[in-house]
A and B are shown apart, each in its own frame.
Chain A
């Protein structure tokens, strides 16, 4: 049996061979070995058995075939002690963002939550007018879709440039989920484009997300 995987590692510590393990988060591959990049605890994640066909009468398997197939190797990962790994927004993630300011052709937002994880760092995002709705994209008025201070559920469509992620609300489930009226009260959604202030009775236009 090969040497067992250490329980803690320093940067540069060799954890195992790439023929036996996959390299996960916090590790890298160097000269055929999985090497730790961080200082922390080592975790071994057993592979999920892929659901294959029940019986294959004509498949010839060799003794070492399972190890050569990357999906059935265990995954080594190193995590820092006591600190959750910071999640970065990736293309396709659903994020919650607060609208910071409005410009004629786009809205600037601050991404505060990716999926279920609240971010430690705040990333800036942009929702362009052509990404607000799926239909009638050229008739969108940014002032009738968002207001500064709204909480918006959006999807990341691009990692963008140095300053901004690019987000989109062009779906029924995406859009403003929380809004405050001009009078300062929380509003309730009444349709796909209106929020209503229950105290004063006035309505304001927003791109409303479908409540689930």
Chain B
């Protein structure tokens, strides 16, 4: 069922559970006492097991949310933090100099403007600029976060990025490429960015093309496999 912002949702569509309270996911707002109003345009998805309801959208501007992983571009360095761009024409997010693995006041990371970082959002609210971190707060280890060197970053839609980061998102492109024998590493940012790096430049281009075309053409699993075969044939 597709909804537009402000539509009235039929109460029969809303799941109910005897024990769990109804959880509203992204795109829905609760207007007390009983109304649920969509704030985004998209498909209304209900999950009866978790008693959750949300709106799935593919496009749109990324709004930072706490604990999401994003790929940002360093814009400049200020006194205590880097200014990192997460999406075009929006205020940059702040990434403190000390939020990197084994960073102290004497040994700060040197990131030139234009370099990529894989970071987690620590604070995001409508009153202030978002803040990021490249280190796990309690262990102090980076756990995969930090600067991304080499490779290439591609733009993808927000919905595709979400599916890539889900365990069962239905994206088989990367598995197909891997099964053929290509070796590469990837990172996905929830803000609509996909990074891929490999020793072989052709691999980077092939993976990037496969991802972006699966996104723009909205391919299903079978379509993705055909696309991968086509790209590999053209590349070799």
A interface, CB within 8 angstroms of B:
101-104, 142-143, 147-148, 183, 199-200
Least CB distance, B156 to chain A, in whole angstroms? 30
Contact at A104–B131, with CB atoms within 8 Å?
A: yes
Contact at A143–B123, with CB atoms within 8 Å?
A: yes
| Closest B residue by C-beta to A146 | B127
Cα A93 to Cα B164 with chains together (Å):
57
Q: Chain B's interface: helix, strand, loop or mixed, by majority?
A: strand
Instruction: List the A side residues contacting B129 at CB < 8 Å.
Output: 104
Contact at A104–B32, with CB atoms within 8 Å?
A: no
Instruction: List the A side residues contacting B125 at CB < 8 Å.
Output: 143
Contact at B94–A104, with CB atoms within 8 Å?
A: yes
Cα A104 to Cα B79 with chains together (Å):
13
B235 adjacent to chain A (CB < 8 Å): no
Least CB distance, B66 to chain A, in whole angstroms? 12
Cα A142 to Cα B125 with chains together (Å):
12
Among B32, B94, B128, the residue within 8 A (CB) of A143 is B128
Contact at A101–B32, with CB atoms within 8 Å?
A: no
B interface, CB within 8 angstroms of A:
32, 94, 123, 125, 127-129, 131
Q: Chain A's interface: helix, strand, loop or mixed, by majority?
A: loop
| Closest A residue by C-beta to B123 | A143
Closest 7 CB pairs of A and B: A102-B128, A102-B127, A148-B127, A200-B32, A143-B125, A143-B128, A147-B127
Instruction: List the B side residues contacting A104 at CB < 8 Å.
Output: 94, 128-129, 131
* 18 examples of A-B residue contacts, CB within 8 angstroms: A101-B127, A102-B127, A102-B128, A103-B128, A104-B94, A104-B128, A104-B129, A104-B131, A142-B128, A143-B123, A143-B125, A143-B127, A143-B128, A147-B127, A148-B127, A183-B32, A199-B32, A200-B32
Least CB distance, B181 to chain A, in whole angstroms? 48
Instruction: List the A side residues contacting B32 at CB < 8 Å.
Output: 183, 199-200
Cα A199 to Cα B129 with chains together (Å):
29
| Closest A residue by C-beta to B32 | A200
Cα A91 to Cα B167 with chains together (Å):
59
Cα A68 to Cα B128 with chains together (Å):
60
Cα A199 to Cα B32 with chains together (Å):
9
Cα A101 to Cα B127 with chains together (Å):
7
Least CB distance, B29 to chain A, in whole angstroms? 10
| Closest A residue by C-beta to B129 | A104
